[in-house]
A and B are shown apart, each in its own frame.
Chain A
Amino acid sequence: MKWTRRDVLKGLGGIPILGSIWWAGTANALVKNKDRSEILEQLNIQPSLPTALKTIGGAPIRFGIIGFGIRGEQLCRAIGFATKEWLEEMKVEEQETGNTQLQEFLDQEKLNIQLTAVCDAFDVRAEKVVSSFSTDTFKVKRFKTHQEMIRSGEVDAVIIATPDHWHAPMAIDALENNVHAYVEKPMTHTVEETYRLKAAAEKSQARLMVGHQHRQTLSFKTARDIVDKGVIGHVSMIQTNTNRNDDNGAWNYDIDKMANEQTIDWDLFLGSAPKIPFNKNHFFRWRKWWAYGSGLSGDLLTHDYDRLNCVLNMGIPKSIMASGGIYTHNDGRNVPDVLQVNMEFPSFSTGSSQIKGKEKGMTFTYSATLGNGFNRPTILMGHDGTMELGNNLTVWPDGNSTKYAEMIEAEKMKPNVPIYHYNPGANMPDAVSSATSQYFADKGLMWTYIDGVRVNSTYLHLREWLSCIRNGGDLSCGINEGFDEAISAHMTGLSWKLGRRIEWDPAEQRIVPIEGINFDEVLLASP
């Protein structure tokens, strides 16, 4: 058969078009891949993977729960002890809304531990623990006081999830009796007991863990690597925020119908707090008063401070100034619900890409309101780049960066395009994110799961503590981290209350005294 020119044109005309498109597609994809590899190579960031922990061998670790309120119940559930009521509730939710929490709870690795004891001033809560976690052969024992529980010989460890003013007395008592302690944040309620708890922890054989579960979040470990490698250069400013706008977020928790003077041991709850008549509001919503809690500075600033201390290891600030007021929930509380905090770190540096000595010092700001829920992210602002830090992590180059000047000039980097995006659920770090993947990531939709399992950081944190009790090893939030957190929180509370700058003396390891002022009296006072 002989083909004419016309035959060839009409029969094979599609081939050159196909070839051109294939060439364009591969060239385009390869150029993008090359740019991406070049940037990743220059950044040299190593995403962290979960650390392997030794399993808890031998006899189960026996632990007691002190305080089975909202947080206490969450902590127990995180390590495998969910109440019958919660299991029932989740079964219904699973059927009605497809909630997967129950399945996740059941799928979680079982730890070699036993809940043996409970202590709670409210009968209903204590009895809930006894009825939920006792078996035919074993009964969970209820103790009236933490002293009895700690000395009973029936607990190797205690989890303290009480109001703040009980944290240190209980933790110190546990450590002095060589009982391991996990204490919720803030670690302490006053300055003096912070010093005392540090001494007790250093002396004790038992292990103290402070409840900042964020330390287990993988993106924070990666953030540390990013800062250490100078990816964003000298960080001069960090902004962290709390944005909440609901009753629960403003600590107006439900008041149990069963609560009365017969079911609540009021004197036990008060402890060292000023003696006042029975008050259900104070019992269930204690976070709103300085006598038992510490409001934004102790409750929420501590999370943000410790998240960044975990990334930067910047320690206690040289000075703190705070302001704010009760502007959104005038309901009888005496802790502020709007708070602005500036922490100064004049000698701190994350490294510099410019001439020596030009860059030094950093301000850490914490800005909180309980009257607006608009999400303001945590931002680390460096000379060479900006990092947004959450569960995911994104880095943008700065338009006037010294380090990336050449790449920006060559348009290999653009200030509005992320150069690095990390998500612990993804297999690969995603450099030069496309608008689409960036969008999905921002929505928190793209990689919510790690290997198909949503991981609870509280579980990881408690598991680390329990594993270290049995096997030894370093705790990611022990007494030193807790000390930094508690002192920073107390300096903030003092600054807000006194309306003046509070300074830290690193040599003496003491808050710089102010003549005529007793810091603890100020902290505990009800304004």
Chain B
Amino acid sequence: MTDVFNKDQLTKSVVVLRILIGWHFLYEGVIKLFNPDWTAFGYLATAQGPFKSLFMGLTGESVIGWVDTLNWLALIFVGISLLLGIFEKKGALVGILLLAMYYFAHPPFPWLEQMNVEGSYWFVNKNLIELVACWVLFNFPTGHYFGLTYLFKGTNKTTNTQ
């Protein structure tokens, strides 16, 4: 009984986590989509750390447009998949990739100057924590409990009563 109760509580809490992360991604994506002047140029051009040259390479005139488009597309995809509870494993994976890029573009390493951050970080920052949270979502899909998957996979409806 205790196990079942805990699993139920766990599922509910992961659903909340999933919705909050989806919320965050979707809003970031929509804001960028509807701001014609937004570009990742500044963020990438000021990249630091071991992958600096890779990020600088993304600022080229021929690629920056694609980078910007792919960024908001990916953000919105992650947002929708996590909020609606469908393709959530794919969504969580894309989220992990995006966050890894954000993390490594401006890594909170003590030997680098921390630019434009609102807190104090030592190796671990919010991007990294959200990345690990996405990893949890990847390993613990909850769309069958709350989300479109619940409707499409009829057999799963009973899962929570097991």
B38-49, CB under 8 A of A: which get 1 and which 0?
A: 000110011000
A446 to B116, CA, bound (A): 14
The answer to whether A11 touches B46, judged by C-beta atoms less than 8 angstroms apart, is no
A16-34, CB under 8 A of B: which get 1 and which 0?
A: 0110011011101110110
Chain B residues near A29 (CB-CB < 8 A): 30-31, 33-35
The answer to whether B46 touches A440, judged by C-beta atoms less than 8 angstroms apart, is yes
Q: A3-B151, A11-B150 are in contact. Are A32 and B35 (CB under 8 A)?
A: yes
The answer to whether B26 touches A25, judged by C-beta atoms less than 8 angstroms apart, is yes
Identity of the chain A residue whose Cβ is nearest the Cβ of B81 in the assembled complex: A14
| A451 interface residue per 8 A CB criterion | yes
A17 to B150, CA, bound (A): 17
Identity of the chain B residue whose Cβ is nearest the Cβ of A36 in the assembled complex: B37
Identity of the chain B residue whose Cβ is nearest the Cβ of A6 in the assembled complex: B157
The answer to whether A446 touches B42, judged by C-beta atoms less than 8 angstroms apart, is yes
Interface of A is mostly: helix
- Out of B35, B85, B150, B157, which one reaches A33, CB within 8 Å? B35
Chain A residues near B79 (CB-CB < 8 A): 18, 21
The answer to whether A436 touches B42, judged by C-beta atoms less than 8 angstroms apart, is yes
A445 to B22, CA, bound (A): 32
| A60 interface residue per 8 A CB criterion | no
- Tell me the residues in window 30-69 of chain B with beta carbons closer than 8 Å to chain A beta carbons: 30-31, 33-37, 41-42, 45-46, 60-61
Chain A residues near B46 (CB-CB < 8 A): 440, 443, 445-446
User: Considering only CB atoms and an 8 Å cut-off, how many residues of chain A contact the other chain?
Assistant: 33
Chain B residues near A441 (CB-CB < 8 A): 42
Q: Least Cβ distance of B136 to chain A in Å?
A: 18
Q: A17-B19, A18-B80, A446-B42 are in contact. Are A12 and B27 (CB under 8 A)?
A: no
- Out of A17, A18, A22, A440, which one reaches B42, CB within 8 Å? A440
Identity of the chain B residue whose Cβ is nearest the Cβ of A32 in the assembled complex: B35
A-B contact count (CB 8 A): 88
A384 to B114, CA, bound (A): 35
The answer to whether B151 touches A446, judged by C-beta atoms less than 8 angstroms apart, is no
The answer to whether B27 touches A21, judged by C-beta atoms less than 8 angstroms apart, is yes
| A7 interface residue per 8 A CB criterion | yes
Q: Least Cβ distance of A130 to chain B in Å?
A: 41
Identity of the chain B residue whose Cβ is nearest the Cβ of A429 in the assembled complex: B37
Interface of B is mostly: helix
Q: Least Cβ distance of B38 to chain A in Å?
A: 9
The answer to whether A24 touches B84, judged by C-beta atoms less than 8 angstroms apart, is no
Q: A15-B84, A21-B30, A28-B31 are in contact. Are A10 and B37 (CB under 8 A)?
A: no
A29 to B29, CA, bound (A): 11
A437 to B40, CA, bound (A): 10
Q: Least Cβ distance of A28 to chain B in Å?
A: 7
| A439 interface residue per 8 A CB criterion | yes
A89 to B150, CA, bound (A): 68
| B77 interface residue per 8 A CB criterion | no
| B110 interface residue per 8 A CB criterion | no
Chain A residues near B157 (CB-CB < 8 A): 7
A443 to B115, CA, bound (A): 10
A374 to B82, CA, bound (A): 49
Identity of the chain B residue whose Cβ is nearest the Cβ of A436 in the assembled complex: B116
| B137 interface residue per 8 A CB criterion | no
The answer to whether B45 touches A445, judged by C-beta atoms less than 8 angstroms apart, is yes
Chain A residues near B154 (CB-CB < 8 A): 1
| A13 interface residue per 8 A CB criterion | yes
Q: Least Cβ distance of B11 to chain A in Å?
A: 12
Can you sample 8 A-B contacts with CB below 8 Å?
A: A11-B150, A17-B23, A18-B79, A25-B29, A29-B34, A443-B46, A443-B115, A446-B41
